[in-house]
Amino acid sequence: MSGAPYIRVGFLGFGTVGSGAYRMLEDNREAIARKVGAEIEVVRIGVRDEAKKRCASPSLLTTDLGSVVDHREIDVIVEAMGGLDPAGELIERALRRGKHVVTANKELIARRGAELVGLAARQGLDLHYEAAVGGGIPLIQPIKHQLAGNDILRMAGILNGTTNLILSRMTDEGEPLETVLAEAQGKGYAEADPSSDVDGHDVQFKLAILSSVAFGKAVRPEQIYREGIRGIEQADIAYAKTLGYVIKLLGIVEAVEGGSILGRVHPTLLPKAHPLAAVGGVYNALCLRGDFVGDVTFMGRGAGGEATGSAVVGDLIDVCRNMRIGGSGDAAPFSGEANARPIEELTSAYYVRVVVPDRPLVLGAIATIFGRRNVSLSAMEMRVIDTKLNHGEIAFLTHRCLEADLRQAVEELRHAPEVLRVCNWIRVETL
């Protein structure tokens, strides 16, 4: 490629994702140069700690992050630091200085995507963020391009590898959440503070990004209902199994009447034949339904430096090709804010587990409470859990009903003399 033009790139952050992308650029240098029609040269890498051992030459490293975005010769900034600040302010500064940006930062794009995409569009620059959702799986660009003719009706995905691993282990090994979580933390699969994963914040960010792209309107994370996996007990997993389901943490968003959306993150009972039910371990997957294309499923490694680095480099190659042929600046800004409906308006099937005194009339009383709220039952499993106290446990599945009605029924069950305890209730995905 001697004589080929150079495109100069600056990195911000050089952790798992940044160094993964860097190694890919090194390992596959020739093939990438052929695809771009230019050599991609990383000329500066902004890091927090210059002394740490890295796979890049120490001469490239600097702790002066501003000097990377201000560097005159740099055409493209790769941001792989994560977090809102200083990443956001650095990306803004890079765009204002005429540099294209590739970022893997889900929190930043979820919170400030509309604003930054708008800025990039006004500047005629590319701002790509494929790596922010689903690791190495192509999701954002296929929705923006190959599926662009569709009205997206619905998306449902497993978007967090850590919680998927935890739930898979709980299912396979019968251990409680605390044990499995501690093990995952020990092996480095889960953070010391697991809240971002376990409480669903990570999925909420990712679903906000996917929703914004799919529906073309800015969706804020707070517009998506969120519930984590801390409440899931072994009993729920066991009843789900008996009833033909597995429990997964899903992000789901649907287009609802009047151009609104209803987005939600929560543990979900999935029928075993559902395409997402077999997605195990750290894999991620997304099922999307378009009005013309029908159902499309994407699956792959949702985290890790190599897979996420692959998405960063894919974006970088696109940005560089666009620079070369003069097609930059298609960062289609979102057209206003989405109108999001509250979770109470959801129509879904549900799983409800209660502890009851094992005596006549109890089941009838419970069924009547459900029935009065228009909640119709489709299946149930009972077992005696305490022969001394004569306590039984019942797991119900309902037909599809309005969440507001289900919530009222659960509230009434909590106060009904025939019910000792409502242990849990979980939404159920139908095929």
- Closer residue to a copy of itself in complex, CB, 194/309: 309
Closer to a copy of itself by CB, 73 or 291: give it. 291
Closest separation in Å from C-beta 430 to a copy of itself: 18
Supply the DSSP string of 103-165, one letter for each residue. E--HHHHHHHHHHHHHHHHHHT--EE-GGGSSTTS--HHHHHTTTTTSPEEEEEEE--HHHHH
Which uninterrupted H or E stretch holds 305? helix 305-325
Give dist(CA 27, CA 313) in Å, integer.
12
Kindly give the interhelix angle for 177-186 and 161-173, rounded to the nearest 10 degrees.
130
DSSP 317: H
Burial class (CB in 10 A: 0-12, 13-18, 19+), 94: buried
Closest CB 138 distance from a copy of itself, rounded Å: 4
By three-state DSSP, how is residue 257 classified?
helix
Question: How would DSSP label each residue in 179-237?
Answer: HHHHHHHHTTSS-SSTHHHHTSHHHHHHHHHHHHHHHSSB--GGGEEE--STT--HHHH
Instruction: Give the nearest distance from C-beta 239 to a copy of itself in angstroms.
Output: 24
Residue 428: name the closest of 271, 297, 279 by CA: 271
By beta-carbon proximity to a copy of itself, the closer residue of 162 and 398 is 162
Minimum CB distance to a copy of itself smaller for 138 or for 357: 138
Query: Cβ of residue 114: shortest distance to a copy of itself, in angstroms?
Result: 15
Closer to a copy of itself by CB, 136 or 194: give it. 136
Mark the binding-site residues for NADPH, compressed into ranges. 106
Q: What is the three-class DSSP state of 248?
A: strand
Q: Are 393 and 353 in contact (CB under 8 A)?
A: yes
Q: Please state the closest distance from residue 301 (CB atom) to a copy of itself, in A.
A: 5
Contacts with a copy of itself by CB under 8 A lie at: 20, 24-25, 27-28, 31-32, 34-35, 130, 136-138, 141-142, 145-151, 216, 275, 278, 290-301, 304, 306-307, 309-311, 313-318, 321-322, 325-330, 332, 335
Positions at the binding site: 12-19, 106, 191
Q: Which listed residue (99, 144, 206, 272) is catalytic?
A: 206
Q: Give 153's contacts (C-beta < 8 A, 6+ positions apart).
A: 254, 255, 289, 290, 291
Show binding-site residues for NADP(+).
12-19
Q: Is position 206 annotated as part of the catalytic site?
A: yes
Which are the catalytic amino acids? Answer: 206
